Amino acid sequence: MRQLKVVILLSCTGSASGQELAGNLGVGLGTVTGIVDRLVGHGLVTRHEDPHDRRVRRVQLTDAGRALVEEINDAGLRNYRRIMERLDLDSLRSLADITAKIAAIAAELPFPRHNTTAAH
């Protein structure tokens, strides 16, 4: 599951350092190293030197990693469409109204920031 989280994070960010991944996952750097090693072994990510700081190694998706994310998104969309096709028009309208209300409330709420400096 953590490997999948790393793949999804990288699909959103483009690349990340080990520290950034550790902070987002809430795990230590040693754990991230093992996760990334396995993803490299599967050909889903690569490591490269950060152009701004040679001490930092950045992780990014390979073409195979991007294809996996696309496949996951496509499968989710297909299933979502299958569900939506079974709803009647009144149910779809209600769903749209509720979704709009949730989005409006979410837009008003401050979201807590993750503390990436805390020891795990």
Which amino acid is present at 94? S
Check: pTM over 0.75? Answer yes or no: no
Alpha helices in the chain (DSSP H): 2-13, 18-25, 29-41, 63-85, 89-108
Chain center to CA of 98: 25
pLDDT band at 52 (very low <50, low <70, confident <90, very high): confident
What phi and psi, each to the nearest 5 degrees, are found at residue 76?
-65, -40
Question: If DSSP codes are grouped into helix, strand and coil, which group holds residue 43?
Answer: coil
pLDDT band at 111 (very low <50, low <70, confident <90, very high): confident
Kindly state the average pLDDT of the residues 74-81. Answer: 93
